[in-house]
Amino acid sequence: MTLPGSEAAGRGTAAAITYRVAESERDRSAVIQGEFDSDTVFEVVDSGGDGFGVRPVRLDRPVHKVFPDDEPDGDEPSVGACRFVALDGDRVCGYVDTEYVPWNRRLVIADIEVAGPYRGRGIGRTLMNHAIDRARTCGAGHVWLEVTNINAPAIRAYRRMGFALCGLDTSLYSGTESEGETALFMSRSLDGPAGR
């Protein structure tokens, strides 16, 4: 089964990328190592009073980050969880894990990954569009995600997709391999004219 609007995402490629809800255990358990290169960090700045903002600061040397595998083993997906996969033939080359939280009408993007050779081909955007379609189907008022402040490529991409900064946590990564980084929270409203 291919989702409506699941067109090929490759530029000039012979094989079409297809998208669908994860159907098999293989789809649901596929893991793509999260990593990125960044020449910018988004620093948290005091905007006066009780407010804050972020500003991009160019790094002297680009950073390469590989996300540690710090997820607990054996976690069962929650009732509101759904994964969409991008497939090149039968190979999972990308996915987005979502979870709908009814009490505040929020669709959480728990993880979004695209394998290195497939980046820059619109696969992440197409996966996010499927997540946003799911959010609307669920009746979500907004889509929400968390991203580290050193992942400038992702922050820029999320902004292009209509996400805006809505909060931060300076202690979320304390005691982890990401110690010293700041968690930025971003959301995209689906209520009202701007989200339609």
Q: Residue 126, SS3? A: helix
Q: What is the pLDDT of residue 4?
A: 41
Residue of 28, 39, 185, 33 lying closest to 108 (CA atoms): 185
The answer, yes or no, to whether residue 101 has pLDDT greater than 80, is yes
pLDDT digits (tens, 9 = 90+) for 149-172: 999 999 999 999 999 999 999 999
pTM, full prediction? 0.81
DSSP 182: -
pLDDT value at position 143? 98
**Segment 121-129 mean pLDDT:** 96
Cβ–Cβ < 8 Å for 85, 103: no
For the chain, the residue count is 196
**pLDDT at 70 > cutoff 70:** no
**Residue 71, burial from CB neighbour count under 10 angstroms (0-12, 13-18, 19+):** exposed
Residue 96, Cβ density class (10 Å: 0-12 exposed, 13-18 middle, ≥19 buried): buried
**Lowest mean pLDDT, pick from 63-77, 121-135, 179-193:** 63-77
In the β-sheet with 91-101, what is the strand arrangement from edge to edge? Answer: 17-21, 81-88, 91-101, 106-114, 142-148, 183-189, 164-169
Taking the C-alpha atoms of residue 153 and residue 19, their distance in angstroms, rounded to an integer, is 23
Q: How far from each other are the two terminal CA atoms of the chain, in whole angstroms?
A: 26
Average pLDDT over residues 80-84: 93
Q: How many H-runs (helices) and E-runs (strands) does the chain carry?
A: 3, 9
Distance CA 32, CA 92 (A): 9
Q: Tokens in use for 72? A: 């607990």
Give the mean pLDDT of 55-83: 77
